[in-house]
Amino acid sequence: MATEIECYRGVVHPWLCDSMGHMTTRHYTAMFDDASYHLFATLGYTPDHLASGIGIADVKLTTTFLAELSAGSLIIVHGRVVRVGNKSMTAHYRMRNLHTGEIAAELESVTAQFDMKARRGMPILPEVRATAEKMLSEPD
């Protein structure tokens, strides 16, 4: 398995829950999105890239919900790169309930490097590719 890093920690507040008492899907997505910023920062993306017109854009998200999270649950998200392509990478994230140890949800995301001026995908930066490929080859 590729190197996995901690990307996010949070708490399920009551206002993140629906009328049935569990966290709504929109908030899972937000927490996974926050986690992705940490993973991509670890890969080498910086605010300077954004300032120079290089961004990243999610092009496909697949979420699997495995266990309920209710108000008061503490969560942690770990992420890892599972594929490096020419213009995109695939990452896998696991959200775990810290109280029970259960995996509450998993997300697989395909993210493209994006030329913000041309508004289209571009090849992954060599230094980012090198870090991502190193993470792929290192065991957990």
pLDDT tens across 108-120, in order?
A: 999 999 999 999 9
The domain of 34 spans: 5-137
Q: Which helix (H) or strand (E) holds 109?
A: strand 103-115
> What confidence tens digit (pLDDT) does each residue in 45-56 have?
988 888 899 999
Indicate if the pLDDT at residue 78 is higher than 80.
Answer: yes
Average pLDDT of span 10-35? 96
Tokens at 68, concatenated: 């309920």
pTM score of the predicted model: 0.93
Indicate if the pLDDT at residue 140 is higher than 60.
Answer: no
- Integer Cα distance of 51 and 77 in angstroms: 28
What local confidence, expressed as pLDDT, does residue 1 receive? 55
- Integer Cα distance of 28 and 95 in angstroms: 9
| Cβ pair 106, 51 in contact under 8 A | no
Task: Please give the tally of structural domains in the chain.
Answer: 1
Q: Cβ-count burial of 32 within 10 angstroms (0-12 exposed, 13-18 middle, 19+ buried)? A: buried
Which amino acid, 134? K
What local confidence, expressed as pLDDT, does residue 138 receive? 72
DSSP 8-state secondary structure symbol assigned to residue 96 = E
Q: How many residues make up the chain in this entry?
A: 140
- The residue whose two tokens read 């697989």 is 108
CATH number at residue 35: 3.10.129.10
